[in-house]
């Protein structure tokens, strides 16, 4: 052996001795492996199997014909006439049932063991090869017409049916004497898992993250076959639910003595800029067959803006020792006083500082587990008169509601796409998000933590009473406690979460004392899991004097604050009616903070403008009143709403008149798939401040003018291309954070307008159209503030492309979003352009999806041909695996100069 070889061997032995002495060998510490690739997928087209979770009632209702705020009702019952697998699935949730007497015992037998898809030797080579996260419906064709199997409410895509996923797991002999779990972050829905032909468990609610213990079913020293069945019913949602395993899947390997699933809880009390008392609870499980002497050591490090941390701990908890009996668990509790804590606070006024706790579990002197927990130190105060205080500073919630889909990417979670959404919300001035109406991806909460958003985390859209025939009410009685506890344990360490919402517009609002009793039961569960945050339930019907409103800590009102169908323009409509109700709720509940958890529900289509324009500040959309039934579009003058809604202007008026309200959440921040009110033959909503493709509607600037009052801005609408309207009246509105403005047409002043009390826009409603330039100069407190110009474009000439970044990471889910615009010879966007665009790509990337933000465009998101919508379209690019170099994207259209852009794949 030469000297070099001797040195290498010596270094290896020293390293091995070091690892053994400190318990850091790979065979003893936790492994968390992302199961992204290698999956095979199959969905039944015309047939199915009999491996059902439970029977369901027949559907005899068109959910698209139901009013969005209609009263929930009792669900139909169904009787099982065949074997169902519910009894084998229920034990998966036992860890989340407090009462041991209610734990479910697994029956004898192994349902499905002879079914081919769960067998190791089944040939799945003809199945589709996919990566997870996966949405099986999003790249398919849209259904059209009223008789579609999936209508507009659920997004007109084939989300329904049964899908199977198969993959092989390599389990080595070194994994023996370990606990091995499958962690599924989200599967839509009724997931059931087989491993080596054995039914291991499952979870029916499609939004809950859950864990399956694979250990009893594994074969060591070779391949193990996993098979997952997903069963997604039609008529089960009021929005696009997605389909399949749409969030990450992990293989987790631990010692038999380990930190339990979501087993840490870190809270802070007595917080100031000088000190904070940080409390730590750690649940440690001993799954071995003998008692273990366990020692726990936890150190905490400050995270920088990139989520990195140094070698020296900022603070540590005192080590704790405890004997844990065989097959038992124990909650270790500790506290430490932290000097000069770096506080987490909402952007932009405060800094979202975060820490990471590294918990090490020793049995004797051997390190057997290491578990990390990210958290923040911050104080919250909820004042009935003055609203929310974070770290002693008043914060008005400028919030939006967000559904969980990512537009043309569907529900398959992607960090790049989610970050793009949040960045644009920051730009408009948003500082808070309500997760409507279900737990989000954990990665989304990582983003809200790091970017400094406030979050209302929500779990249920209904309880026992149904909104759609096959929604969660079917499994509520069996699963509400498990879902609720799992939801909170998973999310409770995220500092961005400031309150828990355990219901949205539930039917139990209507059932007086009975509904209040059920609400109290759910409220108690939340408090048992986390007493540091307040609870809430959003109410669109329950009135201030009703028992339902007394239960939760925070009063959350959907649309009631500014009034429902109460303005003159809404007087002819049927449905829930309510006067502006903030004062009444304050009178009945003087000790509770009030939040406008859903407001506005205004609708518009980017770049569409119809005349005449409504003279007041809010009106329900109708054909000829802001709506065009022929092309299923809504005017972008941003005055029109759904029947139960209000315009932004009306909402602002009410919020300003009731300063005790802690803030509001717009319905919605972004357009989302499904619920295309008022045009249910479309595919996506019209509610967003930002359209489905990520292009700003005019309403974006209206909210920016209100939320960012110190930011100099002005925005003119409409566009100025009205070639067939010479000398016709074209109303001009300006959204500005200033308080007055002067409008010029081709250099000639059209007069000055000022904002008066209760006004949030400047209106010149009598402008006669002449082509050329519209220019506005705005003022604030008498001083020049901001200006904006729109010009009549010439005829379409070329295609312009711009990307949100120049390089893309290969072998990742990193995405680039490329905006495509139809422009004239001067580079001005042609705001009425509807040209057909043809997309192509060459090199180290692929086109993932195309879109244009048009809710009524039923072109598949996978299509490489798409019309521009009012001058714009979007193409989403992803790097190919194992490719380094450049990628070039072309967009062509007949009669136009082609557009091209080159991107780096690195």
Per-residue pLDDT tens digits for 659-684: 999 999 999 999 999 999 999 999 99
Within a 13 Å sphere around the CA of 291, how many CA atoms are in the beta-carbon half?
5
Q: How large a percentage of the chain has pLDDT more than 90?
A: 92
End-to-end CA distance of the chain: 41
The string of DSSP letters for 284-335 reads: EEE-SSS-EEEEEEEEEEEE-TTS---SS-SEEPPPEEEEE-TTEEEEEEEE
Q: What is the mean pLDDT of residues 873-883?
A: 92
Q: What is the pLDDT of residues 121-150, one digit of tens each?
A: 999 999 999 999 999 999 999 999 999 999
Does residue 5 register a pLDDT over 50? no
Distance CA 780, CA 712 (A): 9
> The pTM is what?
0.95
Q: What pLDDT was estimated at residue 540?
A: 96
State the chain's mean pLDDT as an integer: 95
Query: What pLDDT score was predicted for residue 65?
Result: 78
| Residue carrying the six token digits 């709403």 | 641
pLDDT in the model for residue 82: 72
Torsion sign (Cα): 636, 640, 644, 646: positive
| Count of Cβ atoms closer than 10 Å to residue 281 Cβ | 14
pLDDT, tens digit, for every residue of 605-658? 999 999 999 999 999 999 999 999 999 999 999 999 999 999 999 999 999 999
Q: Output DSSP code: residue 801.
A: E
Residue 114: exposure state from Cβ atoms within 10 A (0-12, 13-18, ≥19): exposed
Would you say 37 and 160 are in contact if contact means Cβ atoms under 8 Å apart? Answer: no
Residue in 481, 505, 508, 638 annotated catalytic: 505
Q: How far apart are CA 504 and CA 485, in angstroms?
A: 18
Structure tokens belonging to residue 252: 């987790």
Helix axes 415-428, 698-707, angle to 10 degrees: 60
List 554's β-bridge partners, or say none: 536
Q: Point out the catalytic residue in the list 458, 598, 608, 675.
A: 598
Provide CB contacts within 8 A for 872, sequence distance 6+: 606, 693, 695, 819, 820, 821, 822, 829, 852, 853
Which percentage of the chain shows pLDDT scores above 70?
A: 97
| Cα 765 to chain centroid, rounded | 39
What strands lie across the sheet with 387-390, from one edge to the other?
A: 380-383, 387-390, 393-395
What pLDDT shows up at residue 45?
A: 78
Least confident of 231-235, 714-718, 878-882: 878-882
| Token couple for 298 | 């936890």
Query: Edge-to-edge, what's the strand order for the sheet holding 762-764?
Result: 714-717, 732-736, 762-764
CA-closest candidate to residue 880, choices 250, 131, 242, 124: 131
Residues 74, 92: Cα–Cα separation, whole Å? 28
How far apart, in Å, are the Cα atoms of 598 and each of 281, 537, 665? Answer: 35, 12, 5
pLDDT at 80: 64
Whole-angstrom Cα distance, residue 17 to residue 68? Answer: 66
Q: What is the pLDDT of residues 678-720, one digit of tens each?
A: 999 999 999 999 999 999 999 999 999 999 999 999 999 999 9
- E strands present in 602-699: 619-620, 622-623, 626-628, 633-634, 640-641, 663-667
> For this structure, is 446 an active site residue?
no
In the numeric block, the tokens 């499952």 are attached to 202
| Residue range 155-212, pLDDT digits in tens | 999 999 999 999 999 999 999 999 999 999 999 999 999 999 999 999 999 999 999 9
Phi and psi of 389, rounded to 5°?
-125, 130
DSSP state string for 335-391: EEEEES---B--TTTS-B-EEEEEEEEEETTEEEEEEEEEE----EEEETTTEEEET
588: enclosing H helix or E strand: helix 582-588
Three-class SS state of 132: coil
Does 505 qualify as catalytic in the annotation? yes
Which residues lie closer than 8 Å to 194 by C-beta, 6 or more apart? 112, 118, 200, 226, 227, 228, 229
Q: Which residues have C-beta within 8 Å of that of residue 624, sequence separation ≥ 6?
A: none
């Amino acid at each position: 052996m030469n000297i070099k070889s001797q040195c290498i061997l010596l270094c290896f032995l020293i390293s091995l001795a070091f690892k053994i002495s400190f318990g850091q060998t790979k065979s003893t510490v936790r492994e968390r492996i992302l199961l992204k690739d290698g999956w095979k997928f199959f969905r039944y087209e015309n047939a199915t199997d009999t491996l059902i979770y439970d029977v369901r009632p027949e559907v005899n209702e068109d959910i698209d014909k139901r009013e969005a705020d209609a009263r929930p009702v009792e669900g139909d019952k169904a009787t099982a006439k065949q074997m169902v697998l519910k009894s084998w699935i229920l034990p998966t949730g036992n860890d989340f049932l407090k009462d041991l007497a209610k734990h479910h015992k697994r029956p004898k037998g192994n349902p499905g063991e002879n079914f081919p898809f769960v067998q190791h030797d089944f040939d799945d080579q003809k199945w589709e090869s996919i990566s997870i996260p996966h949405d099986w419906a999003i790249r398919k064709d849209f259904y059209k017409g009223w008789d579609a199997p999936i209508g507009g409410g659920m997004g007109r895509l084939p989300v329904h049916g049964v899908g199977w996923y198969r993959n092989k797991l390599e389990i080595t002999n070194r994994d023996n004497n370990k606990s091995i779990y499958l962690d599924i972050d989200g599967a839509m829905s009724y997931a059931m898992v087989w491993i080596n032909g054995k039914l291991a468990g499952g979870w029916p609610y499609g939004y809950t993250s859950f864990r399956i213990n694979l250990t009893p079913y594994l074969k060591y020293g070779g391949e193990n076959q996993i098979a997952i069945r997903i069963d997604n019913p039609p008529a089960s949602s009021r929005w696009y639910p997605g389909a399949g395993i749409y969030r990450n899947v992990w293989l987790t390997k631990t010692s038999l003595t380990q930190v339990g699933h979501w087993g840490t809880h870190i809270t802070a009390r007595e917080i100031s800029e000088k000190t904070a008392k940080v409390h730590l609870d750690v649940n440690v499980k001993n799954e071995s067959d003998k008692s273990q002497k366990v020692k726990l050591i936890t150190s905490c490090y400050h995270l920088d803006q990139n989520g990195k941390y140094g070698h020296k701990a900022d603070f540590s908890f005192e080590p704790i020792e405890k004997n844990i009996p065989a097959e038992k668990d124990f909650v270790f509790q500790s506290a430490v006083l932290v000097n000069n804590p770096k506080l987490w606070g909402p952007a932009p006024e405060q800094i979202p500082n975060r820490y990471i706790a590294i918990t090490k579990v020793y049995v004797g002197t051997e390190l057997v587990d290491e578990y990390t927990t990210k958290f923040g130190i911050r104080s919250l105060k909820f004042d009935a008169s003055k609203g929310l205080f974070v770290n002693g500073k008043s914060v008005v919630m400028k919030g939006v509601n967000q559904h969980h889909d990512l537009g043309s990417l569907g529900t398959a979670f992607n960090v790049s796409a989610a970050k793009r959404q949040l960045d644009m919300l920051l730009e408009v001035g948003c500082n808070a998000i309500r997760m409507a109406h279900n737990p989000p991806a954990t990665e989304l909460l990582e983003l809200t933590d790091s970017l400094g958003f406030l979050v209302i985390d929500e779990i249920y859209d209904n309880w026992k009473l149904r909104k759609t025939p096959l929604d969660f009410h079917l499994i509520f009685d069996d699963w509400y406690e498990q879902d609720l506890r799992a939801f909170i344990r998973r999310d409770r360490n995220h500092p961005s979460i400031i309150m828990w919402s355990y219901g949205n517009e539930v039917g139990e609002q209507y059932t007086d004392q009975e509904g209040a009793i059920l609400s109290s039961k759910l409220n108690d569960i939340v408090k048992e899991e986390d007493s540091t945050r307040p609870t809430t339930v959003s109410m669109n019907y329950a009135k201030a004097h009703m028992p339902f409103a007394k239960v939760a800590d925070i009063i959350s009102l959907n649309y009631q604050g500014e009034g429902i169908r109460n303005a003159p323009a809404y007087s002819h409509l049927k449905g829930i009616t309510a006067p502006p109700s903030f004062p009444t709720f304050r009178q009945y509940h003087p000790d509770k903070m009030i939040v406008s958890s859903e407001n506005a529900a205004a609708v518009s289509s980017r770049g569409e403008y119809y005349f005449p324009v409504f003279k007041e500040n809010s009106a329900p959309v109708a054909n000829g009143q802001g709506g065009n039934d022929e092309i299923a579009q809504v005017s972008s003058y941003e005055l029109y709403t759904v029947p139960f809604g209000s315009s932004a202007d009306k909402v602002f008026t009410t919020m300003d008149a009731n300063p005790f309200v802690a803030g509001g959440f717009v319905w919605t921040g972004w357009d989302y798939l499904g619920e295309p009110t008022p045009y249910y033959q479309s595919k996506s909503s019209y509610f967003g401040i930002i359209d489905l493709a990520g292009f700003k509607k005019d309403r974006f600037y209206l909210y920016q003018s209100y939320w960012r009052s110190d930011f100099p801005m002005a925005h003119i609408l409409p566009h100025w291309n009205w070639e067939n309207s010479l000398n016709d009246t074209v109303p001009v509105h300006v959204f500005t954070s200033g308080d007055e403005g002067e409008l010029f047409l081709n250099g000639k002043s059209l007069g000055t307008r000022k904002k008066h009390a209760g006004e949030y826009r400047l209106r010149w409603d009598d402008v006669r159209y002449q082509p050329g330039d519209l220019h506005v100069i705005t003022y604030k407190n008498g001083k020049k503030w901001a200006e904006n110009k729109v010009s009549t474009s010439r005829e379409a000439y070329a295609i312009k492309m711009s990307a949100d970044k120049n390089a893309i990471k290969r072998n990742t889910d990193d995405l680039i979003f490329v905006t495509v615009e139809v422009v004239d010879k001067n580079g001005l966007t042609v705001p009425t352009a509807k040209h057909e665009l043809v997309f192509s790509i060459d090199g180290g990337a692929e086109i993932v999806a195309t879109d244009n933000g048009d809710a009524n465009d039923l072109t598949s998101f996978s299509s490489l041909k798409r019309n521009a919508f009012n001058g714009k379209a979007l193409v989403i690019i992803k790097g190919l695996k194992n490719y380094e170099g450049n990628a070039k994207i072309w967009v062509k259209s007949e009669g136009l100069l082609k557009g091209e852009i080159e991107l780096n794949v690195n």
